[in-house]
Amino acid sequence: MPQSTFRWFQGRRVFSRTQIERGKGALRLQLAIIILCLSSAATVSAKDADVETIFAGSTPASVADLKAMQDRVHEVVKKVNETVVGVRVGSAQGSGVVISEDGFVLTAAHVNGKPGRTVTFIFPDGSTRRGKTLGVNRGVDSGLMKISLKDGEKLQFAEQGDSTKVKIGQWVIAIGHPNGYQEGRQPVVRLGRVLTNRNTVMSTDCTLVGGDSGGPLFNADGEVIAIHSRIGSPLTANMHVPVNSFRDTWDRLAASEEWGSLDDGGPYIGVQGDPNSDKAIIARVYPDAPADKAGIKEGDILTKFDGEKVTDFASLATFVGRKSPGDRVPIEVLRDGETIRLEMTIGVRE
């Protein structure tokens, strides 16, 4: 990891979780994940902490724990950094990860676009290679690409993990190229935890922005467990495609097939929001949709969804996206100044 990832300030070493700040004409990224307070009275080593237990979901309770986490993140980044690539398909930019020595690259379907398009892959050292987009499953937002290699040429690649073994609360490492590849900047590293994990979607609180899409999510062993898909609101509630979804449909992806839609089979409540409001005002309720059956009416302001505070319609969409068809969730709406509590069963989009 580049030395610039670290800074020293008043005797404190800072290894950060990405904070996003709007600068003039650009998005500045500052690393701020873990603060390690190192005193001259004591030294700490990774062996003093059970890093496996911590990364499995524990909360770091000491300087030793934090140092162990920092060291493990260092190890993972050193192992996988060269496998994370920036990708350019036409005017679109995103990220990807090399997962085989013969140049297969996992990414998101919306980064991939159509099969057969020309791709420019940008490696961390700034070197570029050409290749093609292969198959896409828009139903889960998975895409596959292939780098064109010379005979006998082999690439460094990342190992794949088992996304079904990922637990809620587990610490994970997100890497990508926020706002697209930038010359001289290494792939950006963020640390976070898993919020939900289902067969076709995983969510984390790793901070992501545009350009990260298609990049890899790693476990503490440096194995790819998911690919960045949809950026939520706020930026710390993001969706990823579990890596097992790629393996389950590998033959179709490798054969450049194109199928599915994110609008098909996903969670659905059947409302439209008011685009001119900064609240989750319900502008339309579709007849016989889950919201209609739950008693939601046009003009209601949805304030809580499954215990989560709803700030606007974008946050409502994020919360709905974390659910599965058939889930029953409590909701609260504000109607004529009165709070009304309802229960809704999530439907399936057809």
**Residues catalogued as catalytic:** 110, 141, 213
DSSP string for residues in 91-156? TEEEEEEE-STT-EEEEEHHHH-STT-EEEEE-TTS-EEEEEEEEEETTTTEEEEEE---TT----
- Say if residues 192 and 186 touch (Cβ distance below 8 Å): no
Question: Of 142, 229, 154, 218, whose CA–CA distance to 187 is shortest?
Answer: 218
Residue 190 CA to residue 339 CA, distance in Å, equals: 39
Residue 67 CA to residue 43 CA, distance in Å, equals: 10
- Say if residues 95 and 177 touch (Cβ distance below 8 Å): yes
Please provide the distance, in angstroms rounded to a whole number, between the alpha carbons at the two ends of the chain.
Answer: 45
Residue 258 CA to residue 272 CA, distance in Å, equals: 29
Pairing of strands 188-197, 282-285: unpaired
Residue 211 CA to residue 94 CA, distance in Å, equals: 4
CA atoms within 13 A on the CB side of 265: 12
